[in-house]
Amino acid sequence: MQSKADQVNFVVGSHVWVEDTELAWIDGEIQESNKDEVTILFESDTRVVRKSANMYPKDPEFPPAGVEDMTRLAYLHEPGLLQNLQIRYSINEIYTYTGSILIAVNPFQKLPHLTGTSTMEKYKCAAFGEQSPHPFAIASSAYSGESGAGKTESTKMLMQYLAFIGGRAETEGRSVEQQVLESNPVLEAFGNAKTVRNNNSSRFGKFVEIQFDQKGRISGAAIRTYLLERSRVCQVSDPERNYHCFYMLCAAPKEESGKYKLGDPRKFHYLNQSNSIELDGLDDSKEYFATKRAMEVVGISSEEQDAIFRVVAAILHLGNIDFVKGVEEVFDSCQPKDEKSYFHLKTAAELLMCDEKSLEESFCKSIIVTRGDTITKSLDPNSAALRRDSLAKIIYSRLFDWIMCKINDTIGQDPKSNSLIGVLDIYGFESFKTNSFEQFCINLANEKLQQHFNQHIFKMEQEEYKKEEIDWSYIEFVDNQDVIDLIEKKPVGIISLLDEACMFPRSTHETFAEKLYQTFKDNKRFNKPKFSRTDFTIKHYAGDVTYQTDLFLDKNKDYAIPEHADILNASKCSFVSGLFPPLPENATKSKKFSSVATQFKLQLQSLLETLNATEPHYIRCVKPNHLLKPGIFGNKIVLQQLRCGGVMEAIRISCAGYPTRKKFDEFVQRFSILEPEVLKECPNRKTACKRLLDRVNLKDYQIGKTKVFLRASQIAELDACRAEVLGRSASVIQRKLRTFLCQKQFISLLLSAIELQRVAKGQLARHQYECMRREAASLKIQKDFLMHVSREAYKSIYASAIYIQICLRGMVARNDLRFRKRSQAAAVIQGLYRGYIARTYFQRLKKATIFVVCSRKRTMARRELRKLKMAAKETKALEAAKNNLAKKVKDLISFLEEEKTMREATTQENEKLQYALQEKEVQLEAKTQEIENLKHVLQAKEVQFEEIKEAKKQETEKLRLDLQEMEFQFQEAKAVLTEELETAMKVVEQPQTVQELVNSFEKKIGRELPTNVTNDELNNLTLENKRIKERIKLLEKKTTLQEFPVNDEFIYKLISENEHLKEQISSLEKKITPDFLVNAADAINKFASENEHLKMKRRRREGRGGDEDCYCSGDDSDKGEGRGGRGGGGRTKSGVHNDNDDNNNKCR
């Protein structure tokens, strides 16, 4: 460990590390320094006064992400290591080198970037140190660390990596490496358990030898185990658990666990001693199937698996056998407690396939063999329970050894291999409130491995010095050989005394403890606790541990009770009998006894021989917190593990020589500030380093080939000189900075004054300009206002003059207009009067003419009526033709239905005659071609029909136009007739003229209409014509191609009938127009009524005279003039009104 501050002169402003009871180390800045006492300011603004001898210097230029190799730290001491590990842990960089030692801090979470094939590939061909720290960079490792620090997980990662780089191609198979990797789940199931510090703690040591052939491929492997914790089978403290396999078997499916009569683990004594039955994040049922799959891979058959689980179940049933005092009169007799105990006894005997009665007696009785006789002794319930637990432990131990032998036999070893890589996963240093025989053996192993570790570190230091060709002397380091001698030295070591005590039947743990006190009372590594008569304390390299000797003797004995061995050897199950092979008959009890501690010591000796024959690389695993949660880094916990793991001892060994080693470039870059000209004057880095060291008058340093080697305190002296130079430089910088700031402030004030003056002058100029602008504006406003007043006065006078002129001119124009209107009115009156005289004469002539025309038109109407009657007859013939056409349509529909029926019959016939289908293929093709032709013809007919339909539409439109023209002619004729009738009424005054007009009108109507046509006949013809048109339209809609199947004959027939029907309709429309017939009938009725009325008036006129005739003639003249006003050619509307006025005057 690097020397403390008593060798360093701290200056004010330096950063240091100070010991703290909670955080182990805390950093601060020196505020005051007074000889051996300094005042330190922490980040929490707390000031303390400490001794300078109790602090370490802090590197002010510590990398923010830490360093991968802690030997590159400027200050190699406890707080420096702790700071580096904490920084790297916070960024999930859990691996850090200390030389060739890899420190692994358990993250308690999955870190994908540290595992996987891609990561393995990156480290596959990389030399040590080229990549970031990782277990993959370690070829072989031996482990020692805190329980729960991650040793087992690191072991599995190493084995995966070794299988990756040394495995065969997929085509060659990967059986050996797969079996090595799959052995981990099996060994964890039967050798791992939950402890206070770790949910998957290995309760045995393991050394895996992986053998390689000449091509570097895995050719074989072997697994060695050390010191299985057998006592855990029977004794479990809360909150720990028993071995995982017991819980897995209880959580198995019911059909499998029921076969072994298992169920809830809380019902078994060996499992319910602790309340911790289930683990968070662990499913025992899934682990059960995973373990079975792993057992298959390592070569354990299904029959052997069944036998293994029967043995495990039998152990659980053995634990539920309770004993009570027997009913016999024999002293100290015992028997199973109740039916439940007998049930478990019977079940255990069935699972082990041994005799139930013999098994019961082996618990309740003891057989003592003398020279010539055998003595049977009854046991009390406590002794029976001890024998039961002894059987359970020996069975489980033999089962675990069998599994290990089976795995090794399956994997196989390569006798031709000369290369191997060993992976050691062994327990870490343990110190609990209660430490028994297991902790004693575990800590012995750690002492032996720590000694090997110290020697290896010392050897590495020597190699480093030789490589750099520097002078060095022997480095002293703390050797723990005295602790190892205390434990295993013969004949007075603790193990030797323990074996001796086990050999004597009357020895107890009290006598054993007393023997220890007497033998080692003067040993500085051994202490006797004050308040205990059976405990002892050993001062290990990692700390003091107090052991309780209560069970030392029982746990050190490794032999089966003869009665148990005989019963299980006679088992009907070959697997169980194989676990307990028979002993020679002449073997005595002393020969049967085997010390566990001695066996373990021999195993450690063999292991160390293997380690000494190889090149070791170390991984120190560290647990950051006891909560087993990620992101929590406990300084005191980590520091204690670093001390117990020997990391601090390794650093102390380094500090005993030259702990600070800087490459030439790094050294010059850091300390060139001491003499800046050295880089220009000394191009050689080595010479530059020597000159810098001489500059500060350092002694006892070494300069190698590539590095500068400094003693523990020399780097601090260099940093102090560097800090002093930096302080002076800081003063100069501060002076220059202050000068610069003052100058900058003066310039700023000067510029501000100039700016203020500029702004003030500008403000005055702007104010003066504003005054001038306002004066000019006021003058302009006055000018514009006066101009506005003058303009308004001129506009008022101008408007008045214009108004007077307008009034005078209007008066003159109105007088002129009035004169013109009067002149025009006089001319109009004269014209009207003259026109009246001319019209009166013209009216008289017109009335006579109208009467003659009306007579002619009557004759023409009679002729037309005669023609309409004939057309009515033709309409009946058309109705008959329509009925025939409808009948033909019905016949065609029935014909189509019959044809459809025939086709369906033909289809059925075709189904029956399918066998003749091939013979008529030619005919079918011909028919198909004919059908195609018909389709083409049909399409052509459809086009033709569409053309016909379009022509029909055009004809219909033409007929509609002709009909409109006939209606217009009829309206004109009606108007003419109406005018003639009105004219005739006016002529009634002259009897002779009226009679002539009536006669002429009757003659005209007779000529125009047939004499035999009545009004009813005309109405009937009109209605019949409408019905015929509607039926024709309906028939056209029904006879479309879409509603009926089409063939050529049907199309031709429809076309011909359609043409015939069109001709009849055309002839009928030419002869009869419905509107004409209706209007004609109304005209005839009206003419008849008016004729009768005229006759009656004539008779009255003949019988009366004077005033009545004038009055009636006035009315008739009005009527006649109203109807005939539009019939006169060339007469205007005004003329008609004048005639009416004349007639009215006459009536009055």
- CATH class entry, domain 1-58: mainly beta
Mean pLDDT of the chain: 78
Q: Which of 430, 982, 1002, 1069 is catalytic?
A: 430
For the whole model, what pTM was predicted? 0.58
Confidence grade of residue 1146 (pLDDT, cut at 50, 70, 90):
very low
Confidence grade of residue 1015 (pLDDT, cut at 50, 70, 90):
low
Q: Which residues contact 120 (CB under 8 A, 6 or more apart)?
A: 136, 160, 161, 164, 165
> Is 1124 known to sit in a ligand binding site?
no
> Is 508 known to sit in a ligand binding site?
no
Q: Identify any residues that bridge with 143 across adjacent strands, giving them in sequence order.
A: 619
Residue 639, pLDDT > 60, answer yes
Measured CA to CA in angstroms, residue 679 lies from 215, 688, 721 at distances of 51, 7, 18
C-alpha–C-alpha distance, residues 58 and 80, integer Å? 7
Q: How many Cα atoms sit within 13 Å of 220 on the Cβ side?
A: 15
> Is 152 known to sit in a ligand binding site?
yes
Phi–psi pair at 547, nearest 5 degrees: -105, 145
Measured CA to CA in angstroms, residue 789 lies from 31, 265, 778, 792 at distances of 93, 120, 17, 5
pLDDT at 153: 63
Confidence grade of residue 656 (pLDDT, cut at 50, 70, 90):
low
Residue 360, pLDDT > 80, answer yes
Residue 350, pLDDT > 90, answer yes
Q: What is the pLDDT of residues 298-319, one digit of tens each?
A: 889 999 999 999 999 999 999 9
**Catalytic annotation on 430?**
yes
CATH topology of 1-58 equal to that of 658-712?
no
Q: Which of 96, 140, 152, 1113 is catalytic?
A: 152
Residue type, 353: M
pLDDT at 1006: 46
pLDDT at 804: 92
Residue 476, pLDDT > 80, answer no
Q: Which residues contact 115 (CB under 8 A, 6 or more apart)?
A: 157
Residue 708, pLDDT > 60, answer yes
C-alpha–C-alpha distance, residues 1072 and 1064, integer Å? 12
**Catalytic annotation on 191?**
no
pLDDT at 1087: 55
- Ramachandran region of residue 926, left (φ > 0), alpha (ψ -120 to 50) or beta? alpha
pLDDT at 1031: 57
Q: Which of 166, 422, 428, 1127 is catalytic?
A: 428
Q: What is the pLDDT of residues 673-700, one digit of tens each?
A: 787 777 777 777 888 888 888 877 787 7
Q: Which of 66, 80, 148, 220 is catalytic?
A: 148
C-alpha–C-alpha distance, residues 85 and 79, integer Å? 10
C-alpha–C-alpha distance, residues 45 and 24, integer Å? 19
**Catalytic annotation on 201?**
yes
**Catalytic annotation on 118?**
no
Confirm if 1071 and 867 have CB atoms less than 8 A apart: yes
**Catalytic annotation on 1066?**
no
Right CATH number for 437-558 from 1.20.58.530, 1.10.3720.10, 3.30.1360.120, 3.30.300.210? 1.20.58.530
How many CB atoms neighbour CB 1108 within 10 A?
12
Most confident of 379-383, 515-519, 597-601, 993-997: 515-519
pLDDT at 696: 78
Q: What is the pLDDT of residues 791-808, one digit of tens each?
A: 999 999 999 999 999 999
> Is 146 known to sit in a ligand binding site?
yes
Using DSSP, state whether 401 is helix, strand or coil: helix
C-alpha–C-alpha distance, residues 769 and 563, integer Å? 130
pLDDT at 744: 93
Looking at domain 658-712, its CATH architecture is 2-Layer Sandwich (3.30)
Mean pLDDT of 276-286: 89
Confidence grade of residue 348 (pLDDT, cut at 50, 70, 90):
very high
C-alpha–C-alpha distance, residues 659 and 713, integer Å? 10
**Exposed/middle/buried for residue 781 (C-beta within 10 Å: 0-12, 13-18, 19+):** exposed
Q: Which of 96, 141, 198, 713 is catalytic?
A: 198
> Is 46 known to sit in a ligand binding site?
no
Q: Which residue has the tokens 């920084």?
A: 87
Q: How much of the chain exceeds pLDDT 70, in percent?
A: 76
C-alpha–C-alpha distance, residues 351 and 345, integer Å? 10
Q: What is the pLDDT of residues 101-122, one digit of tens each?
A: 889 998 988 888 887 778 777 8
Using DSSP, state whether 218 is helix, strand or coil: strand
C-alpha–C-alpha distance, residues 780 and 875, integer Å? 104
Confidence grade of residue 163 (pLDDT, cut at 50, 70, 90):
low
User: Lowest-pLDDT range, 137-151, 191-205, 598-612, 972-986?
Assistant: 137-151
Residue 778, pLDDT > 90, answer yes
**Catalytic annotation on 202?**
yes
**Catalytic annotation on 585?**
no
Q: What is the pLDDT of residues 1022-1047, one digit of tens each?
A: 565 566 556 555 555 544 434 444 44
Confirm if 208 and 159 have CB atoms less than 8 A apart: yes
Q: Which residue has the tokens 């790094």?
A: 666
Per-domain residue ranges of the chain: 1-58, 437-558, 658-712, 936-1147
Residue 233, pLDDT > 50, answer yes
pLDDT at 757: 93
> Is 52 known to sit in a ligand binding site?
no
Q: Which of 52, 183, 195, 201 is catalytic?
A: 201
Q: Which of 14, 106, 119, 147 is catalytic?
A: 147
CA-based R_g, the chain, Å: 68
User: Lowest-pLDDT range, 28-37, 157-166, 579-588, 917-926?
Assistant: 157-166
Residue 913, pLDDT > 70, answer no
**Catalytic annotation on 170?**
no
**Exposed/middle/buried for residue 200 (C-beta within 10 Å: 0-12, 13-18, 19+):** middle
Residue 1135, pLDDT > 50, answer no
pLDDT at 1041: 39
Which one is predicted more confidently, 1123 or 944?
944
Residue 993, pLDDT > 50, answer no
Q: Which of 616, 623, 617 minimizes the C-alpha distance to 104?
A: 623
C-alpha–C-alpha distance, residues 1064 and 1061, integer Å? 5
Q: Which residue has the tokens 């692994």?
A: 104
pLDDT at 395: 95
> Is 151 known to sit in a ligand binding site?
yes
Q: Which of 184, 202, 397, 1143 is catalytic?
A: 202
Q: Which of 102, 519, 610, 573 minimizes the C-alpha distance to 304?
A: 573
